[in-house]
Amino acid sequence: MAKEVRVGFLQNNPEILNTKSNTRRIVELLDEVQDALIVLPELATTGYAFENKYEVAEAAEPADVARSPVLEAIADKAARNSLHVVIGFPELSGELIYNSAVLIGPSGLQALYRKIHLFDREKLFFTPGDAPPPVIDVTGYGRIGIMICYDWYFPETARSLAFRGADMIAHPANLVLPWCLDAMKTRSLENRVFSITANRCGTESHGGRTIRFYGRSQVLSPDGNVLAVADDAQEEIRVVTIDPATARDKAISQRNPGMCEVRRRLLPLE
Ligand code: ACM
């Protein structure tokens, strides 16, 4: 693992159901960076406030770079700019639609996660994922865990990523509840992992509903310290340099090995 790596977020403001234009804008913003891991919001290419399942079905694409114009465009930019990108999108798989995120690197698709904890009206449109959130060992970056938005509310999600060795959590989000960004400081601290929450910004009015998203995407250290934070309303791409190896020391003091203590007492020994 390289000692220092560049990680960050792209906070965007997609227009509901305008996938082509949203994707074009994302690619334009991604072009500002090279050699970095960039996390984008949940449903970053379509917007969030869907009115019905037909709209979602129309916007959904397979998790396959060869069959998804959105993922193809991201993969192309990742290859050109030596990027690893985590991005949320509505995924079509057979008859089912998932609220998913993928990790795409310079050589293509590396991982897929289907959101387990669906929030509110998402349950009208999406099928919950039935596989654990992935941890991917990415050469040069360390181990990257993925969870999506409301997964934050369930500490077991981040803990399960940490137990499986994640050095950092990539966390695409469309935050609606006010507590997440503070709660993520605890998720980072209690697991001693970096976290990158990419929230969207802007206001979406569609189908008689209006939702305001509050931005403030953030990168946190394993101490829960804020390494970078975005504005509450502007689109923004931000990168910081971190040493992922610092997430492998879980100790709080010589006598307090941190999460390893919990593991020994609450989980069966391997
Ligand atoms: C959420 O999970 N998008 C609130």
Q: CATH code at 167?
A: 3.60.110.10
Residue 119 alpha carbon, nearest atom of ligand 1:
2
Q: What predicted TM-score, i.e. pTM, was given to this entire model? A: 0.97
Residue 238 has pLDDT above 90, yes or no: yes
269 pLDDT band, cuts 50/70/90, is low
Q: What is the mean pLDDT of the chain?
A: 96
- Catalytic residue selected from 55, 61, 77, 149: 149
pLDDT of residue 262: 78
* 42 given a catalytic annotation: yes
Active site residue 149: yes
| Res 261: pLDDT | 78
pLDDT grade for 106, boundaries at 50, 70 and 90: very high
The CA 215 to ligand 1 mean position distance, Å, reads 13
- Give the pLDDT mean for 29-44: 98
Distance from chain centroid for Cα 83: 15
Instruction: State the average pLDDT over residues 139-150.
Output: 97
pLDDT (average), residues 85-92: 98
Print the domain residue range for 113. 5-266
3 catalytic? Reply is no
List the catalytic residue out of 61, 77, 91, 115.
115
Number of domains in the chain: 1
